[in-house]
């Protein structure tokens, strides 16, 4: 208490690799992946850019890390449960996660070094399919099919200029009018008679395709229930 009080009660160890990744994920959610820069991240954490490099090697590691965080949010399917229920739940959980974090879809293309949560997720899904009686090659087919559909749906959802129920009309209606001349008649038809109808939500299309796929897959199990 003699001289000056320490200029600020500087909390040491306020940073950690986990906190950096969590903040990065939050920042990407709030402001978009483009706004996630080392500088903005540091500022949001109340520190300086170069401090982050004590916990991560470079920005790519941050991107890998937050993609893995997204996967860690998804409940693992269980080989013990009914495979169809498990796959249905998993598909919806993944779609929800990719909707919460739309930037993750775009990141998947460039990230080729999956994290632990990602690997666990893949392994649990493969295990559930194998336990359901799918052969090894059929499991590969089913997994490629399911994930393609889920990722692709999320990709399209992320690309939509509108979001959620009834919001399509406000945005696309003026655009559609420009097309009413007749250059794109089928798009106009779909828009007017389907998309612009009250209560429409692109997300509702998800279940149709998912059930169609699961129906088709259930016919590919050799043993027992066909």
C-alpha distance from residue 17 to each of 10, 51, 89, 185 (Å): 19, 11, 31, 53
Query: Do residues 128 and 89 lie in contact, with contact meaning Cβ atoms separated by under 8 Å?
Result: no
Name the one range near a second copy by CB under 8 A: 14-22, 37-45, 52-60, 141-149. Answer: 141-149
> Of these, 30, 48, 75, 204, which contacts DNA (CB under 7 A)?
48
Query: Do residues 194 and 200 lie in contact, with contact meaning Cβ atoms separated by under 8 Å?
Result: yes
Name the one range near a second copy by CB under 8 A: 3-11, 36-44, 46-54, 122-130. Answer: 122-130
Residues 85-104 that bind a second copy (CB under 8 A): 102
C-alpha dihedral, 14 to 114 to 134 to 204, nearest 10°: 70
> Of these, 24, 25, 27, 38, which contacts DNA (CB under 7 A)?
38
Beta carbon nearer to a second copy, 14 or 218: 218
Nearest-approach distance from CB 30 to DNA, in angstroms: 14
Query: Do residues 65 and 24 lie in contact, with contact meaning Cβ atoms separated by under 8 Å?
Result: yes
Name the one range near a second copy by CB under 8 A: 7-15, 19-27, 69-77, 178-186. Answer: 178-186
Name the one range near DNA by CB under 7 A: 34-42, 65-73, 83-91, 153-161. Answer: 34-42
DSSP state for residue 223 in the 8-state scheme = S
Convert 109-123 to b/e letters by CB count within 10 Å (16 or more is b).
eebeebbebbebbee
Q: What is the rounded CA–CA span in Å between residue 22 and residue 7?
A: 28
Name the binder of 92 from DNA, a second copy, none, CB < 5-8 A by kind.
none
* Contacts for 198 with CB less than 8 Å, ≥ 6 apart: 166, 169
Beta carbon nearer to DNA, 47 or 72: 47
Residue keyed to tokens 């998309």: 195
Binding site for DNA (CB under 7 A): 6-7, 10, 12-15, 35-40, 47-51, 53-55, 58-60
Binding site for a second copy (CB under 8 A): 102, 105-106, 108-112, 119-120, 122-124, 126-127, 130, 136-137, 139-141, 143-145, 147-153, 155-156, 158-161, 183-187, 189-190, 193-195, 202, 205, 208-209, 212-213, 215-217
């Amino acid at each position: 208490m003699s001289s000056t009080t320490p200029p600020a009660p500087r909390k040491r160890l306020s940073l950690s690799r986990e906190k950096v990744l969590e903040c990065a994920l939050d920042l990407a959610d709030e402001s978009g992946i483009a706004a996630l820069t080392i500088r903005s991240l540091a500022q949001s954490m109340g520190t300086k850019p170069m401090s982050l490099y004590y916990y991560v090697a470079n920005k790519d590691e941050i991107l890998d890390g937050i993609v893995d965080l997204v996967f860690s949010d998804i409940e693992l399917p269980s080989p013990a449960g009914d495979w169809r229920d498990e796959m249905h739940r998993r598909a919806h959980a993944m779609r929800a996660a990719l909707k919460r974090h739309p930037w993750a879809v775009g990141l998947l293309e460039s990230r080729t070094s999956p994290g632990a949560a990602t690997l666990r997720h893949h392994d649990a899904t493969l295990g559930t399919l194998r336990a359901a009686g799918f052969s090894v090659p059929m499991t590969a087919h089913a997994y490629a099919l399911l994930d393609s559909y889920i990722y692709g749906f999320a990709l399209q959802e992320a690309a939509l200029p509108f979001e959620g129920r009834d919001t399509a009309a406000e945005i696309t209606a003026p655009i559609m009018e420009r097309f009413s001349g007749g250059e794109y008649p089928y798009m106009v038809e779909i828009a007017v008679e389907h998309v612009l109808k009250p209560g429409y939500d692109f997300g509702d299309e998800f279940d149709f395709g998912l059930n169609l796929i699961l129906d088709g897959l259930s016919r590919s199990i050799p043993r027992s229930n066909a």
